[in-house]
């Protein structure tokens, strides 16, 4: 539990984690999963923004990408 606070792990990932756990339970035949989720943590954390310099990134990577190309690449990761 202390690791969660030290590393500032996103509490919004809990739903993704529980969905994965339920999928594994079904896949392994280890139980029955029912519909619905009860979330008692009502403080959703907003996604943060990272500000970077496109010139620095190109210099660091040895590339010549436009800001639009960088954005497209980063958006595809999500």
Dump the DSSP string for 7-52.
TT--TTHHHHHHHHHHHHHHHHT-S---S--------PPPPP----
Q: What is the C-alpha to C-alpha distance for residues 23 and 17, in angstroms, rounded to an integer?
A: 10
Range scoring the smallest mean pLDDT among 8-12, 21-25, 49-53, 69-73: 8-12
pLDDT for 50 equals 80
Q: What is the mean pLDDT of the chain?
A: 86
Q: What is the C-alpha to C-alpha distance for residues 22 and 36, in angstroms, rounded to an integer?
A: 11
pLDDT for 5 equals 62
Q: Which domain holds residue 69?
A: 48-78
In total, how many domains does the chain have?
A: 2
Residues 2 and 39 both lie in one domain:
yes
Residue in the structure block whose two tokens are 């660091």: 60
Range scoring the smallest mean pLDDT among 6-10, 32-36, 65-69: 6-10
Residues 22 and 55 both lie in one domain:
no
* Confidence band, pLDDT 50/70/90 cuts, at residue 78: low
């Amino acid at each position: 539990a202390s690791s969660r606070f030290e590393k500032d792990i996103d509490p919004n990932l809990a739903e993704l984690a529980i969905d994965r756990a339920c999928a594994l339970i079904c896949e392994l035949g280890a139980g029955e999963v029912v519909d619905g989720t009860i979330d008692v943590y009502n403080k959703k954390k907003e996604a943060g923004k990272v500000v970077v310099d496109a010139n620095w990134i190109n210099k660091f990577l040895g590339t010549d990408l436009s800001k639009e190309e960088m954005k497209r690449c980063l958006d595809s990761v999500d």
